[in-house]
Amino acid sequence: MLDANIEFDEIIHKEVIKDGVFVFYINDNGLFGGYIKLTNKGWDWERGGGVTSSLNPDRGYNWQGLNLVDSDFMIKYGVITDNSIMGIKHAYKDRLAKLVTTKKDFRLWFLMSEESESPKVEPIYKDQ
C-alpha cells in the first residue's frame, strides 16, 4: 500500500480472495477498502481507496460497495456499532456477510459476490 501512495492509519483486516487480497483499513476516521492483485510483476494496487464508511453510523450499521469488474467480483462492506445487530445479510438471496471483530468500537462486515449488481443488504437483529 505504501508503494501505491495509499495513506492509512491502521489495517483492520486482510481477506485473501481470487488472485489477490482485499484490505480493509482506517484513514482519517473512515473505513476504506482496496484490492491488491498478484500479477506477473508482483503485487499491484488494483482498485479502492475512494469509498469510505463512517465509523459511527447513525443507524448502527452502514455499507459501501466496490465493483471490481476486472476481477469479476463485487464487495459490500461496512461497520456495525449496534450490539443488537447480530449480522448482515444480502436482502434478496439471504446470504450472510462475514463478520470480523476488531479492536475498535465496531465490527467489520463484508459480503462478496460475483454479480455486478448492487444488492441491498439488511441487518439481522437479536430478536429476529
pTM of the model: 0.85
**In the chain, where does DSSP find H-type helix?**
none
Identify the pLDDT of residue 86. Answer: 97
Between residues 114 and 89, which one has the greater pLDDT? 89
Q: How confident is the model at residue 25 (pLDDT cuts 50, 70, 90)?
A: very high
Name the amino acid, one letter, at 38: L
Tell me the mean pLDDT in the region 37-47: 85
Is the model's pLDDT at 82 over the cut of 90? yes
Tell me the mean pLDDT in the region 37-45: 86
The percentage of residues in the chain with a pLDDT greater than 70, rounded to a whole number, is 85
Cell of 86: 447480530
